Amino acid sequence: MGIINQLDNAGALPALEKMMRFAAGRQKLIAHNIANFDTPDFRPVDVDPRAFQDQLAEAVEQRRGRNPGSGELVMKATREVEPLADGRLRLDPRTGSGNILFHDRNNRDLERTMQSLVENAAMFRLASDLYRNRSRLLRDAIAERVI
């Protein structure tokens, strides 16, 4: 089991996994915002993807200092993203402040929300494609297949 854990924590796989977990959680937040667009007094919430990317970059740099190329990726908790012991991420969304307050006291911006939806989906797709390719390379190497 030790060698499998080492392979699972090698290279970019842990960072890609964290990116997919973040994007999946954020997708739920964005979908919740869209579902409540017409709800009076609703305030959409979100987490900052740039802050998460900075948090992830810091964890990658610290891992490189400890074990270049492998080892557990340890992320520090921030105000919006808390890594859990089982690898999941707990998102603590904050109310967005840049939207328009409408007559029904709903704070929404359809264009900005749809932009967030598309950017988040693209981030998940990129991370999952890279993860799948890296995993396939590992499986092929273990099976001693020539590509």
Mean pLDDT over the full length of the chain: 82
Q: How far is Cα 60 from Cα 16, in angstroms, rounded to an integer? A: 11
131 pLDDT tier (thresholds 50, 70, 90): very high
Q: What is the pLDDT of residues 105-125, one digit of tens each?
A: 555 677 888 999 999 999 999
Q: What is the pLDDT of residues 4-42, one digit of tens each?
A: 444 445 578 889 999 999 999 999 999 999 898 888 778
